[in-house]
């Protein structure tokens, strides 16, 4: 067996480990963050379960930390009280980015982790089966319910050689994105094997598994080996180590070979993570801003290499450099060893240990700027400045670029980039707050601010559906398009009615008002609809606007699951050419849709009433998902049960 198969088999509750079939697995750990967590905990409360049933559930406050009004602070107070009452550990603001802290202080090889954040697969660097999902799926897992997913194919990413000086783990995943595209991992787990694995540290492995999300992969995973043991020992957690490697005769559904020694510094150009070239090919693009940090590249090793490049030098006068260490542990160690001093003296602005610029929470660049970042995504407008272009690079390339003022190959700098992994990290978990005991829990009052509104719930599927195709969209529409997430809107993640006013406005500013006036309807989309974040709000806002179905060429995994969880039909064209026949504002009808779903029919006739033709759409649902759609979503189905 491969590593993925071993973990799935050990956690399998139902189904068969056959690629493409539905399986249910037991979840050991969960994580939420504050932009998705409020809704997840509202949903958990709605289930009426007094205490979580996982081995460990964590709530992180790391996204909505720019407090320009009461909303974010109110959400944080709600999260602090609801977690204390229901058995969830709270990582307070300032303790760090969820994926970095989870890697350092919580993750255990061989365990399953479900997180309401699409970059939860970061935990795969530690040998976990770590999967991103919608908040409702996480809420169910916290309540002891199974997590259902399509059994993935497992692709062997076979690594040989070792990275040369100034070539980074970020360049490995950018190379994979260059080869496979943002759709190349859909329905797959990327499992890393080969002699090159032993040359990569845990933070380097985590960088690679983190950005596996950009491939559309279910998750990515490395083995748990001596490197894993040493990292956990340095974190004071050697007892958590479990050896886990693929069998010598392990089978895979495909293989990709990468010679680490042949790689060179890479860059993803705007506005997609797979728009990848070498830094040399991209040329010396003039740069206005450099942002170093995010859950992809904010580890101690990353930061030490940045400090080495900056030491004794000065940031280019035309560049604004900001640096956000990924956790308080990293920041404390940089402060203790003088590396933070080197960064500050070079002219870097030090941000708090949070997601920050990566999610558009501050540091939006100027009009028309070029911003070079170590983030994982560079979607259009994600930085908060629609006219800006975001380039994704390694920490080494980012630091070199900050000094030179143009996109720069870090190999051109004469800097010693050898950084040893610490044998002992600084340990201080006093910002991780344990929950109340079961005896204390009844006395805890959950505090809800005025910005926290009830989440919308779908109605049971009617006998037939009809309505207007309110919006026609192209390929690769992201959750950033569907539910924008800049600093002005993140405070309203617990207020779906407010968020709905901005739903799909990057595509069409008139959409929310038109949807409200029409009383709902349908959406029409191209390939890979809903790629990007696990953002459940990208289903909740359309639900509030009474969207009953999305007709698309194909869907991203998490978004399709979120639509089904909320009772919205994810329909795909049987013949993709039919996409061109449908027009925005056409009236369509799904006659006898309830009977078709009840009978398990996968071919759904979609009548274009306006133009007078019928096309076939596919509705690929398992028996469980059919019941969900019939009931009007997962919450309704649970209530009925």
CATH number at residue 338: 3.30.499.10
Is residue 289 included in any domain, yes or no?
yes
10-residue mean pLDDT series, the chain (641 residues): 98 95 97 91 91 97 88 93 97 96 98 96 98 93 95 98 97 97 94 98 98 95 98 98 97 98 97 95 96 96 97 97 97 97 98 88 90 92 89 97 97 92 96 96 94 88 97 93 83 88 95 96 96 85 96 93 94 96 97 96 96 96 93 87 74
Is residue 392 included in any domain, yes or no?
yes
pLDDT of residue 447: 95
Q: Shortest CA distance to 132 belongs to which of 33, 262, 2?
A: 33
Helix locations, 519-633, DSSP H: 537-544, 557-565, 593-598, 623-631
Is residue 431 included in any domain, yes or no?
no
The residue segments making up the domain with residue 128 are 3-262
Residue written as token pair 């004794």: 312
Domain match, 110 and 204 both: yes
β-sheet bridge partners, residue 158: 193, 257
Domain match, 318 and 191 both: no
Domain boundary among 412, 441, 474: 412
Spatial contact of 556 and 216, defined as CB atoms under 8 Å apart: yes
Q: pTM for the complete prediction?
A: 0.90
What residues contact residue 442 under an 8 Å CB cut-off, 6+ apart?
A: none
Angle of the 135-142 helix axis to the 557-565 helix axis, nearest 10: 70
Domain boundary among 220, 245, 262: 262
- How does DSSP classify residue 269? P
Give the number of domains in the chain.
3
pLDDT tens for each residue of 367-396: 999 999 999 999 888 888 889 999 999 999
Domain match, 236 and 285 both: no
Is residue 456 included in any domain, yes or no?
no
Is residue 601 included in any domain, yes or no?
yes
What residues contact residue 155 under an 8 Å CB cut-off, 6+ apart?
A: 185, 188, 189, 190, 191, 252, 253, 254, 255, 256
Report residue 88 as tokens: 């969830």
Is residue 145 included in any domain, yes or no?
yes
Report residue 595 as tokens: 């009977």
Domain match, 215 and 304 both: no
Domain match, 232 and 275 both: no
Spatial contact of 190 and 42, defined as CB atoms under 8 Å apart: no
Domain boundary among 208, 230, 262: 262
Domain match, 519 and 376 both: no
């Amino acid at each position: 067996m491969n590593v993925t198969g071993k973990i799935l088999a050990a956690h399998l509750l139902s189904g068969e480990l056959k690629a493409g079939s539905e399986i249910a697995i037991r979840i050991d750990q969960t994580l939420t963050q504050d932009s998705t967590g409020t809704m997840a905990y509202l949903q958990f409360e709605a289930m009426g379960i007094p205490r979580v049933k996982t081995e460990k559930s964590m709530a992180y406050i790391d996204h909505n930390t720019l407090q320009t009004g009461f909303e974010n602070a109110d959400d944080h107070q709600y999260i602090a009280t609801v977690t204390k009452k229901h058995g969830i550990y709270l990582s307070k603001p300032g303790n760090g980015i969820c994926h970095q802290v989870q890697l350092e202080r919580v993750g255990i090889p061989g365990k399953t982790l479900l997180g309401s954040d699409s970059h939860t697969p970061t935990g795969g660097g530690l040998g976990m089966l770590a999967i991103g999902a919608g908040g409702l799926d996480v809420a169910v897992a916290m309540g002891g319910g199974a997590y259902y997913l399509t059994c993935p194919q497992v692709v062997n990413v076979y690594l040989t050689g070792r990275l040369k000086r100034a070539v980074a783990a970020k360049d490995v995943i950018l190379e994979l994105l260059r080869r496979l595209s943002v759709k190349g991992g859909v329905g797959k787990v990327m499992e890393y094997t080969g002699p090159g694995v032993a040359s990569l540290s845990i933070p380097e492995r985590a960088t690679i598994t983190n950005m596996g999300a950009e491939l559309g992969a279910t998750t990515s995973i490395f083995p748990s080996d001596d490197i894993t043991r040493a990292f956990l020992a340095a974190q004071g957690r050697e007892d958590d180590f479990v050896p886990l490697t693929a069998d010598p005769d392990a089978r895979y559904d495909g293989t990709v070979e990468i010679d680490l020694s042949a790689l060179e510094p890479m860059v993803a150009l705007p506005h997609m993570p797979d728009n990848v070239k070498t830094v040399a090919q991209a040329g010396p693009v003039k740069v206005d801003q450099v942002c170093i940090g995010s859950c992809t590249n904010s580890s101690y090793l990353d930061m030490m290499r940045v400090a080495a490049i900056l030491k004794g030098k000065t940031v280019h006068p035309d560049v604004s450099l900001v640096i956000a260490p990924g956790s308080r542990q990293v920041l404390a160690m940089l402060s203790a060893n003088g590396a933070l001093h080197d960064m500050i003296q070079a002219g870097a602005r030090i941000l708090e240990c949070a997601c920050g610029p990566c999610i558009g929470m501050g540091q939006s660049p100027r009009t028309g700027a070029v911003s070079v970042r170590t983030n994982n995504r560079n979607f259009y407008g994600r930085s908060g400045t629609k006219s800006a272009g975001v380039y994704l690079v390694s920490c080494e390339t980012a630091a070199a670029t900050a000094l030179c003022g143009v996109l720069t190959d870090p190999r051109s700098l004469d800097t010693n980039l050898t950084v040893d992994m610490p044998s002992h990290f600084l340990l201080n978990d006093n910002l991780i707050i344990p929950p109340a005991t079961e005896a204390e829990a009844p006395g805890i009052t959950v505090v809800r601010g005025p910005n926290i509104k009830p989440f919308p719930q779908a109605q049971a599927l009617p006998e037939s559906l009809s309505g207007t195709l309110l919006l026609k969209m192209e390929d690769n529409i992201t959750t950033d398009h569907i539910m924008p997430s800049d600093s002005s809107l993140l405070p309203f993640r617990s207020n779906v009615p407010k968020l709905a006013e901005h739903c799909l406005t990057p595509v069409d500013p008139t959409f929310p008002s038109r949807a409200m006036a029409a009383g709902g309807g349908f959406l029409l989309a191209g390939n890979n609809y809903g790629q990007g974040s696990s953002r459940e709000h990208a289903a909740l806002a359309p639900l509030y606007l009474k969207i009953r179905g999305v007709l698309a060429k194909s869907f991203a995994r998490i978004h399709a699951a979120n639509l089904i969880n909320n009772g919205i039909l994810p329909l795909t064209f049987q013949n993709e050419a039919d996409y061109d026949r449908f027009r925005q504002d056409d009236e369509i009808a799904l006659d006898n849709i309830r009977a078709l779903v009840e009978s398990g029919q996968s071919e759904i006739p979609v009548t274009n009433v306006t133009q007078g033709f019928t096309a076939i759409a596919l509705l690929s649902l398992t028996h469980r998902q059919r019941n969900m759609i019939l009931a009007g979503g997962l919450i309704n189905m649970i209530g009925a049960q």
